[in-house]
Chain A
Amino acid sequence: MDRRYTEKASLAELTAAYSNTPRAVAAPLLRFTGELLQIQAGWTRLPAAEATLNDSLSSRLEAGEPLIALAEIAADGTLDLDQVRTALASVLSLISRWYKGGSNGDGFPDALTLPLEQISSGLQALFNRRTVPGWVRRVDPCLQELVVFSLGAALSPFVQALAAPAAEVLRERRYDKASCPACGQQPLMGMLHGEGGVRSVECWLCRTQWIIPRVACPFCCTTQQADLRYFYVPGREDARAYVCGNCKRYLKVTDARRLGFKPLLALEHVVTMPLDSMAAAEGYRPGCAPLFLASKF
């Protein structure tokens, strides 16, 4: 990362910095996301199966295979489901405090009483985008998406820990495939950085960053420049949404060169949410599969 950027001392400071800028269009959402990131940060420090990436990094990348087989880690013991259950309880507790539809989180399942099989089936549904498992369907329909979202949020730090050994290598590497080289999921947000304006993206799940071509669609990989555009809000040139006329998907990108500090892309995603609605109005859909939209299950 470019050393010109000021490193913020803590996640709380960074969240506060975002809240105090004109870009903070959704201060409550920033606070919620900041609290969620704090919870996740506690779990990423765990030594969770950190040495599972013994395979040759290069050969797997060249073969286009993600380094972590998500469909297997819940079943083969790589993932400690007891820990995931505890993390899920923390996330559900946070969400229940914020939830406006009931009092004291009425209707949320108690993660600590969920059998491990149910946790495992929920994660498999996430990975494979199958139907919502039965135990989630029994939750109030209004809460289902929040529960599925919580599963992803609880899982994320563990996959981050698994991907950590590779993430440092991948950060400097160019990877043209349309999915995360570490876990196979989609990039949520990107940034332009460095003096050369390299474009990097970050996976929604494992937060691994990798470099993608500047003028190419990160989802369908087309390089037809006639299909590739971006839009931005005049006066707010530090963020843009790259849209692809070929696959009709878009990627939000923040220009870190204009920010003056190293951005946290999870928060950048929040402060740039107006771009999402603009892209939707223009007929584009997010390139990152809307994993948490209940209609997709």
Chain B
Amino acid sequence: MKVSRRTFLKLSGAAVGAAALAGLGLDAPVASAATPLRFRYARETTTICAYCGVGCGLVVHAEGGEVVNIEGDPDHPINKGALCSKGSAMYQVANNKLRLRKVKYRAPGSSRWEEKSWDWAITEIAARIKATREATFVDRDSAGRQVNRTEGIACLGGAALDNEECYLHSKLSRALGIVYLEHQARI
């Protein structure tokens, strides 16, 4: 990046104006100090901590789409910038060489993990839900009342689910007839 002395003088600081700097002979050192410096852009985005149901606010710093820092959001009414020890370590959720980036599958009875595609995993989950639901579906209870439920599947949500996600989680589960349902976002 190169900044001409003229550009600097035209648009530099407000407290001491351009001509004032020049008149005092103080403009050249500042302009020359700026010229060799390179800078980086970053962006701050607010979000919610994914760990528990308290829902602390976070400010995520990203450069070129890569997370470079995460800190508490000082404007968030719940945590006002503070974070617990887990929240303070949120950065490593995004940047961690141990983080799984591909689907791993261990077949029943197997002792080893296999790498699978997302398409395979989603199709397999859907097929197994369908098969289990059909095998365990109860349309009437012992008293003859219609219940339309499956007792072969349980569904566990996550503490960080927001209202809308809990609604979808609940709606999908009830549509399938799942009664062992726990959204877990209740702290």
Q: Are A and B subunits of one complex?
A: yes
* A interface with B by C-beta (< 8 Å): 25-29, 32-33, 95, 98-101, 142-146, 148-149, 174, 186, 188, 194-199, 204, 213-215, 225, 228-234, 266, 269-270, 273-281, 285-286, 288-294
Q: Beyond the given A29-B30, A146-B23, A230-B43, please list 14 additional residue pairs across the A-B interface where CB-CB is below 8 A.
A: A95-B24, A98-B24, A98-B26, A99-B23, A100-B25, A174-B75, A194-B74, A196-B80, A214-B73, A230-B42, A269-B13, A276-B13, A280-B8, A294-B19
Question: For residue B45, which residues in chain A have a CB less than 8 angstroms away from its CB?
Answer: 215, 225
Chain A, Cβ-Cβ closest to B81 = A196
B11 interface hit (Cβ, 8 Å): yes
Chain A, Cβ-Cβ closest to B36 = A274
Given A213-B75, A231-B39, decide whether A277 and B31 contact each other with a Cβ distance below 8 A.
Answer: yes
Q: CB-defined interface of B3-35 with A at 8 Å, one 1/0 digit per residue?
A: 100011011111111111101111001110111
Q: Are B23 and A230 in contact (CB under 8 A)?
A: no
B112 interface hit (Cβ, 8 Å): no
For chain B, residues 89 to 126, give those with C-beta under 8 angstroms from any C-beta of chain A. Answer: none
Chain A, Cβ-Cβ closest to B18 = A293
Q: Are A29 and B16 in contact (CB under 8 A)?
A: yes
Chain B, Cβ-Cβ closest to A174 = B75
| Shortest beta-carbon distance from B122 to chain A in Å | 31
Q: Are A214 and B23 in contact (CB under 8 A)?
A: no
Q: List 20 A-B contacts (CB under 8 A).
A: A25-B33, A98-B26, A99-B23, A99-B24, A142-B19, A145-B17, A197-B81, A215-B44, A215-B45, A215-B46, A228-B43, A231-B39, A231-B40, A232-B39, A270-B16, A274-B30, A276-B34, A278-B1, A289-B14, A292-B17
Q: Are A33 and B41 in contact (CB under 8 A)?
A: no
Contact of A198 among B29, B33, B81 (CB under 8 A): B81
Question: For residue B186, which residues in chain A have a CB less than 8 angstroms away from its CB?
Answer: none
Question: For residue A231, which residues in chain B have a CB less than 8 angstroms away from its CB?
Answer: 39-42
| Shortest beta-carbon distance from A189 to chain B in Å | 8
Question: For residue A285, which residues in chain B have a CB less than 8 angstroms away from its CB?
Answer: 11
Given A29-B29, A215-B59, decide whether A276 and B11 contact each other with a Cβ distance below 8 A.
Answer: yes
Q: Are A288 and B14 in contact (CB under 8 A)?
A: yes
Given A197-B59, A230-B41, A277-B3, decide whether A142 and B23 contact each other with a Cβ distance below 8 A.
Answer: yes
Chain A, Cβ-Cβ closest to B17 = A292
Question: For residue A29, which residues in chain B have a CB less than 8 angstroms away from its CB?
Answer: 16, 21, 24, 26, 29-30
Q: Are A233 and B39 in contact (CB under 8 A)?
A: yes
Contact of A145 among B23, B72, B82 (CB under 8 A): B23
- Indicate the size class of the contact surface on chain B: 35 or more
Question: For residue A27, which residues in chain B have a CB less than 8 angstroms away from its CB?
Answer: 29
Give the interface SS of chain A, mostly helix, strand, loop or mixed.
mixed
Question: For residue A197, which residues in chain B have a CB less than 8 angstroms away from its CB?
Answer: 59, 71-72, 74, 81
- Report Cα–Cα, A279/B40, bound state, in Å: 12
Q: Are B23 and A277 in contact (CB under 8 A)?
A: no
- Report Cα–Cα, A204/B45, bound state, in Å: 28
Question: For residue A25, which residues in chain B have a CB less than 8 angstroms away from its CB?
Answer: 29-30, 33-34
- Report Cα–Cα, A279/B12, bound state, in Å: 9
- Report Cα–Cα, A28/B41, bound state, in Å: 30
B145 interface hit (Cβ, 8 Å): no
- Report Cα–Cα, A293/B10, bound state, in Å: 8
Given A231-B39, A233-B39, A277-B7, decide whether A198 and B74 contact each other with a Cβ distance below 8 A.
Answer: yes
Q: Are B24 and A277 in contact (CB under 8 A)?
A: no
Q: Which of A27, A215, A225, A286 has the most CB of B within 10 A?
A: A215
B84 interface hit (Cβ, 8 Å): no
Contact of B37 among A196, A214, A228, A233 (CB under 8 A): A233
Q: Are B17 and A294 in contact (CB under 8 A)?
A: yes
Closest 6 A/B residue pairs (Cβ) = A196-B81, A292-B17, A274-B34, A280-B11, A25-B33, A100-B25
- Report Cα–Cα, A199/B38, bound state, in Å: 25
Question: For residue B82, which residues in chain A have a CB less than 8 angstroms away from its CB?
Answer: 195-196
Q: Are A229 and B29 in contact (CB under 8 A)?
A: no
Question: For residue A277, which residues in chain B have a CB less than 8 angstroms away from its CB?
Answer: 3, 7-8, 11-12, 30-31, 34-35
Q: Are B38 and A281 in contact (CB under 8 A)?
A: no
